[in-house]
Chain A
Amino acid sequence: MPVEPPTPKADGQHPLRLQMSGMSKRYGAVQALDAVDFELRAGEVMALLGENGAGKSTLVKVLTGLVDADDGHVRVDGEVVHLFPTSRSQAAGVAAVQQEISCIPSMSIAENLVLGDQAAGAFTSPRRLAADARALLEPVGLQHLDPRRLVEEISVAESQLVEIARVLARKAKIVIFDEPTAALSDADITRVLAMVRELARRGCGVIYVTHRLREVFEIADRVTVMRNGSSLPPIAVEDLDVDRVITLLLGRRLESMFPSREPLSGEPVLVVDRLQAAGLAEPVSFELRPGEILGLSGQIGSGANVVLRALAGTVPGVQGSATLRGRPLPLRGRHASTRAGVGYCSDDRKKDGFFAGRSTRENLSAPWLSGVARGGWVSRRRERERANAIAGSFAIDQSRLRSPVQTLSGGNQQKVVLGKWLGTDPAILLVEEPTRGVDVGARAEINHKLRELCAEGLSIVLASSDTNEVLGFCDTIATFYRGRMTDVRSHEHWTEEEMVREVMHPVGAPS
């Protein structure tokens, strides 16, 4: 029998809400958690950081009762509790807001708010339900919404806030946010972050899991870093800066997140002339030079992604023209577009980026199979060589090429989705949200690799709602607002403040 842990101490101001000590969990040969210690005070926001595979998700699963730890003690408000299964975790006051929205789209906001609430009766009148819902929506700033509306009619950010309202209604003691802003644009992130702080102010203990370091400095009080299944002691945010956090995450120093830029020259490789598609309020024109990385920055619905999809040939009814290396670029269908030399990665790699269940190598070779075939027969040897070359240059673990792609980490999956295009020798690469859901280490690797490819003549257009990334990484930045391209400038002529203003509310825009 392990020795009982000492009773938790309070820090004078805030009592210790949660204390986990010696938490261990093993999956087969993988030690996911190795004697992890974790603490959380009431009224604080504790950021939980770590690269993919560091053990964050397993720790969250233990907390929410999805997984039973092999070893270790958990105390909530000083009481030893067992958090497995989920019913016990909920009874102990743990609630989680997930990265993937868990609202039910076809139900009304009010119905979603009482979802899973044992206290709600089976026969509540819609009017009563709506009245209760309004009281819950007000604190999260959604008082303008009619609770009888269906969740599918409201925005992603709003449904995220509805979930937070649900957590508030449950009066949870410990709230876990697992990358709540991954799918949100900057303006919506601000609202969600404000709510997270509000929860802490009301005395909740908040655990905030994220890949975005900026958010950590905006809202967290302390930071716990996990690495290879172990935890480091919590550190107050005042004692940290970005470089220090990255060093802690990686266990080494990262040279720099964004590679340096080279001067651009040469005739444009891509000329887009009066491109028009559903989702754009007016036609868009721009040019792309060899080796250039052009960033289209805008919030969700701004039209930045529409431009990429139109060029990739995935949206019907595109008007206007695009010329790639002097030839008209077909804008109908990915097949013709791929043959013309256009690689494209959408922002949702699970949905349309990779083939779950198939091996990593088959995923890599999908776009260029005919390139390693003769008379319709695939040459396994040439396929293997080309796949190995891509894996080598993108730092994808070569021993995992035969494993199903979904077993790779998020960062490696993104490398596969981007890297597969190298085999087609594309002239341009169109990428939506290149580093979404990717940890800092892999993010820097991807950025450096893309820049390296540009030095060899590839040109890239990317759409990103992460202004920090666009500003740090791109040569040229175009801002989008409500279906219009509002400005294009070289990166040195932008400041972060200007960019945020351009994408959130440009001068002269109707309010």
Chain B
Amino acid sequence: MTKPEAMISFSDEGTTEPVAPGAEPPRSPSPVRAALVARAPLLFLVALLAVAIMVTPEFGTAANVKAILANAAIIGIVAVGTTFITLSGNMVSLAVSQSGMLAAVVFLSCVGHGWNQVLAVVVVIALLVAVGIAQGGLVAAGLNPIVVTLAAGAIVLGVVAQLTGGSTITSHGADIGWIASTPLGIPLSVYVFAAVTGLATVLTGKTVLGRRLTLLGANRSSADFSGLPIARTTIWAFVLLSVGIALAGILVGGGLLSANLDTLNTLSIDVAAAVLVGGTAIQGGDGSPLRSAVGACVIATANNVMLLNGFSLGVRQVGSGLTVLIVVVMLALQRGRTVR
């Protein structure tokens, strides 16, 4: 349980001035309220954890916590990457499931053919980045991101189906056990998740690119008129997401030692849910990778509780959808109240 608790203690509002509630004129949401809005999903997580532990005896076991973390890591790595897209005002990518599957299939195929493993990792990242640049370029040219990523997902799925004939790709006995290793008893993917979250948070808060992404999402026209490089910034958002997807795909493929068209097929909804639950504004301009990481933990916990209680995949999917709706409605109500 160490990881999620470490997440809970985060604070990216450290710079907020202490202001008494109601001391601001109307229409300007008070910092206290804003902080509450940002933390609403977090409170939700705590409540969920409490209920889950009460109704599910096996929830607190070490094996289960490890399972939650491993699941949260995959969703989280991609959700953290997606945050760049969301922050920049381009909503979410609907191609992450298919892209993650592509990464897993290509990685296994490369190592299965006896390639150097480092080279395989580099090739997968390069391929995914190329796919990301293509999408980012189209979005930067003014096309709707939802339509572009939806189409890209279909194309990726189609190409892989055509090339593999729908068959399952395996590692052919290549020695990739390190991917599923658990240094200090924690899965490798969790370390990657933590590192990616840390890097992304620093990038968002401290670099020119991170600032530009946020400004672009806050107001695209203003960003344009202020001389910000719109196209380059948009493409960078897609590149960063693509790196995240590549890492997640490699971790999943390497962990399972096999991949097919169904690999990671619920990733898109889980990632979108994680970003939204985390409290990054879907219209862009406000949010952080750290919040999405927390969101991923919420979604993974929810999935796990449903699994432990013997819910079928169908019920779990309904549960994921409902979780998204409830959290989004919660945030909308909160925001609505702060505006009025």
A362 touches B25 (CB 8 A): no
A28 touches B225 (CB 8 A): no
A402 touches B224 (CB 8 A): no
Q: Say whether A404 faces chain B, with CB atoms less than 8 Å apart.
A: yes
Contacts of A27 in B (CB 8 A): 22, 25-26
B25 touches A366 (CB 8 A): no
User: What is the bound-complex CA distance between A346 and B219, given in angstroms?
Assistant: 14
A357 touches B227 (CB 8 A): no
Contacts of B286 in A (CB 8 A): 357
A376 touches B208 (CB 8 A): yes
User: What is the bound-complex CA distance between A27 and B300, given in angstroms?
Assistant: 43
Instruction: Given A353-B222, A354-B222, A402-B15, check contact A335 B208 (CB 8 Å).
Output: no
A339: nearest chain-B partner, CB-CB: B227
Which residues from 204 to 228 on chain B have a C-beta closer than 8 Å to any C-beta of chain A?
206-209, 211-212, 214-215, 218-219, 221-228
Contacts of A324 in B (CB 8 A): none
Instruction: Given A370-B208, A378-B211, check contact A353 B225 (CB 8 Å).
Output: yes
Mask of B134-154 contacts with A, CB within 8 angstroms, 1/0: 000000000000000000000
For B206, B222, B285, the residue with the greatest tally of chain A CB atoms inside 10 Å of its CB is: B222
For B23, B208, B224, B229, the residue with the greatest tally of chain A CB atoms inside 10 Å of its CB is: B208
Q: Say whether A367 faces chain B, with CB atoms less than 8 Å apart.
A: yes
Instruction: Given A351-B221, A352-B221, A370-B208, check contact A358 B215 (CB 8 Å).
Output: yes
Q: How far is the CB of A172 from chain B (nearest CB, A)?
A: 26
A366 touches B206 (CB 8 A): no
Q: Say whether B110 faces chain A, with CB atoms less than 8 Å apart.
A: no
User: What is the bound-complex CA distance between A353 and B215, given in angstroms?
Assistant: 12
Partner of B229, one of A335, A366, A377: A335
User: What is the bound-complex CA distance between A357 and B28, given in angstroms?
Assistant: 9
Mask of A352-392 contacts with B, CB within 8 angstroms, 1/0: 11111110001001110110010011101000000000000
Partner of B227, one of A365, A367, A373: A367
A402: nearest chain-B partner, CB-CB: B17
User: What is the bound-complex CA distance between A308 and B229, given in angstroms?
Assistant: 20
User: What is the bound-complex CA distance between A232 and B192, given in angstroms?
Assistant: 67
Contacts of B222 in A (CB 8 A): 351-355, 366
Mask of B1-31 contacts with A, CB within 8 angstroms, 1/0: 0000000000000010100101111111000
User: What is the bound-complex CA distance between A377 and B225, given in angstroms?
Assistant: 23
Q: Say whether A407 faces chain B, with CB atoms less than 8 Å apart.
A: yes
A335 touches B209 (CB 8 A): no
Contacts of B214 in A (CB 8 A): 358, 362
Q: Say whether A337 faces chain B, with CB atoms less than 8 Å apart.
A: yes
B206 touches A354 (CB 8 A): no
Instruction: Given A367-B226, A377-B207, A420-B226, check contact A356 B218 (CB 8 Å).
Output: yes
Q: Say whether A486 faces chain B, with CB atoms less than 8 Å apart.
A: no
Which residues from 327 to 364 on chain A have a C-beta closer than 8 Å to any C-beta of chain B?
334-335, 337-339, 344, 346, 351-358, 362
Instruction: Given A27-B25, A358-B285, check contact A344 B209 (CB 8 Å).
Output: no
Q: How far is the CB of B25 from chain A (nearest CB, A)?
A: 5
Mask of A8-41 contacts with B, CB within 8 angstroms, 1/0: 0000000000000000000111101000000000
Contacts of B26 in A (CB 8 A): 27
A362 touches B228 (CB 8 A): no
Q: Say whether A285 faces chain B, with CB atoms less than 8 Å apart.
A: no
Contacts of A380 in B (CB 8 A): 206
Q: Say whether A406 faces chain B, with CB atoms less than 8 Å apart.
A: yes
B227 touches A334 (CB 8 A): yes
Q: Say whether B256 faces chain A, with CB atoms less than 8 Å apart.
A: no
Contacts of B211 in A (CB 8 A): 362, 365-366, 369, 378
Q: Say whether B37 faces chain A, with CB atoms less than 8 Å apart.
A: no
User: What is the bound-complex CA distance between A338 and B222, given in angstroms?
Assistant: 13
Q: Say whether A314 faces chain B, with CB atoms less than 8 Å apart.
A: yes
Instruction: Given A376-B207, A378-B211, check contact A356 B219 (CB 8 Å).
Output: yes
A358: nearest chain-B partner, CB-CB: B218
User: What is the bound-complex CA distance between A312 and B226, given in angstroms?
Assistant: 10
A352 touches B225 (CB 8 A): yes
Q: Say whether B179 faces chain A, with CB atoms less than 8 Å apart.
A: no
Instruction: Given A27-B26, A28-B24, check contact A355 B218 (CB 8 Å).
Output: yes
B22: nearest chain-A partner, CB-CB: A28
B228 touches A377 (CB 8 A): no
Which residues from 179 to 216 on chain B have a C-beta closer than 8 Å to any C-beta of chain A?
206-209, 211-212, 214-215
For A355, A356, A365, A406, the residue with the greatest tally of chain B CB atoms inside 10 Å of its CB is: A355
A380: nearest chain-B partner, CB-CB: B206
Q: How far is the CB of A454 from chain B (nearest CB, A)?
A: 22
Q: Say whether B230 faces chain A, with CB atoms less than 8 Å apart.
A: yes
B227 touches A369 (CB 8 A): no
User: What is the bound-complex CA distance between A362 and B204, given in angstroms?
Assistant: 13
B225 touches A314 (CB 8 A): yes
Q: A28-B23, A356-B218, A366-B211 are in contact. List 6 more A-B contacts (CB 8 A).
A: A32-B25, A314-B224, A335-B229, A357-B286, A378-B207, A407-B28
Q: Can you list 28 A-B contacts (CB < 8 A)?
A: A28-B22, A29-B23, A314-B225, A335-B227, A335-B228, A335-B230, A346-B225, A352-B221, A352-B224, A352-B225, A353-B222, A354-B219, A354-B222, A357-B286, A358-B215, A362-B211, A365-B211, A366-B222, A366-B226, A366-B228, A367-B227, A369-B208, A369-B211, A373-B207, A378-B206, A403-B28, A407-B25, A407-B27
Q: Name B's A-contacting residues (CB within 8 A).
A: 15, 17, 20, 22-28, 206-209, 211-212, 214-215, 218-219, 221-230, 285-286
Which 7 pairs show the lowest CB-CB distances between chains A and B?
A: A338-B227, A352-B221, A28-B22, A407-B28, A355-B218, A366-B226, A367-B226
Q: Name A's B-contacting residues (CB within 8 A).
A: 27-30, 32, 312, 314, 334-335, 337-339, 344, 346, 351-358, 362, 365-367, 369-370, 373, 376-378, 380, 402-404, 406-407, 420, 424
